[in-house]
Structure 1
Amino acid sequence: MQEIKSQYNYEQVILWLEKKGGELYGNHFKILESDLPIIYKLIAYFLKDQQTCFQFNINLNKGIMLSGPVGCGKTSLMNVMKYLTPTEHKFYIKPCRDISFEFIQEGYEIIHKYSKGKLYVSEPKTICFDDLGTENNLKYFGNECNVMAEILLSRYDLFTSKKLQTHITTNLSASEIETHYGNRVRSRLRQMINLIAYDKTTKDKR
């Protein structure tokens, strides 16, 4: 584990995060030593600690993709990180499965909703799309649509024009992302996000 030179006291931040996690998820929420390399990167990113992000080769203009096996704690970590983030970088978490169900009910407006904002009003928001890959390709009036691929491509345009950030949690590998969403999405994601990945051998904590 590399030594961190920073204006922030990371050990204190971790104690604070454990306390916050305990409030949200109960006393079984613990930050494991084996997860510290991942957690230091997330703290550096969400505190906008430029010096440490530089050490970790993290680009603060991009979003975060947190990838890792099922049950390693990606969603709960992102939920806790929300409380570290300065107000202007606040984000909310939206499960991809919920978006796919909304698409069945509301159709193509959903793509607009999660990229440009409300219909007729442009108000793009920073969103963490949770569990990318658990949604299915769905049909709306017989037309099949890869909803998340369309949303991510729209958000890429907003990333280039308005610096809009997108965060993602997923248990898919890069090649699985390409299989699910196509080469264009994979290539856009490379430009939009910093990849922070758990080791494939990380045990299920549930």
Structure 2
Amino acid sequence: MNEETQWQCLIAEPDGSIRLPVGEGTDLKAWSEETATRCLPESAPRREVRGLASVLARVAESAEMTDPTFAYAYVVDPAKAVTAAYELHDYDGDGYRSVDLLPDLLRDVLPGSPDRQRIEQIVLPAGPAVRIQETRSVDTGGAFRKRTVLETVTYAVLPPQVENILVLRMSWTNLVFGDALLELAETLARSLELAAVEEA
């Protein structure tokens, strides 16, 4: 393999996906209001626009903290501000270039204390991988210290073209959509690919 080859990661962008402006120094309040206005019909009540804008801003702020390569909100129901989020990370594979060690990488870079966890080894078009499905109870903030259940599914992939490890994580709290979102996450994971960057 030519060691000088540059690679870019590609992933599907299904209808409902909104690429988040992570690492761009964007005014998230203005961005979220403009994006929410675009997602909803012109006749939508102002409260729906405000609700969706608030959720999009919160998802974008959360994504900024994890420093992903890129991240998306997936809008399930814009009128009710129901969203999921997915993001892709690119980690140094040093010490983890084995499918058996991928759960250790995920514990190190995405720590947490799941209430339930299921780990399985799989093979994706992009390479051998692990799939980890988790649920955990999280604090929603606010004066009443409410808690909700967060569901996540994470794929860590060993692409043969590079030494790095690709990690795709999707998360949501609207568990009624869980089965559909798990299916979408699988579709996204299977769409992952590394493409050689053509020299200009």
The answer to whether the superposition gives a TM-score over 0.5 is no
Larger RCO of the pair (alpha carbons < 8 Å, separation 6+) = 1
Give the TM bin, normalised by the shorter chain.
Answer: under 0.3
TM-score, normalization: structure 1? 0.25
Instruction: Pick the structure with more helix per residue.
Output: 1
Instruction: Pick the structure with more strand per residue.
Output: 2
